[in-house]
Amino acid sequence: MRVEGVNYEIDWKRFRKGRSIFIPCLDPPSAKQVVLDVTRRLKIKTTVKIVILDGIRGLRIWRI
pLDDT at 43: 94
Q: Write the CB contacts of 55 (distance below 8 Å, at least 6 apart in sequence).
A: none
Amino acid at 36: L
pLDDT at 58: 95
Condensed to tens digits (0 to 9), the pLDDT of residues 7-55 reads: 999 998 899 999 999 999 999 999 999 999 999 999 999 999 999 999 9
Q: Write the CB contacts of 19 (distance below 8 Å, at least 6 apart in sequence).
A: 62, 63
Domain boundaries in the chain? 2-63
DSSP the chain: -EETTEE----TTT--TT-EEEEE-S-HHHHHHHHHHHHHHTT--EEEEEEEETTEEEEEEEE-
Residue 1 pLDDT grade (very low, low, confident, very high; cuts 50, 70, 90) = confident
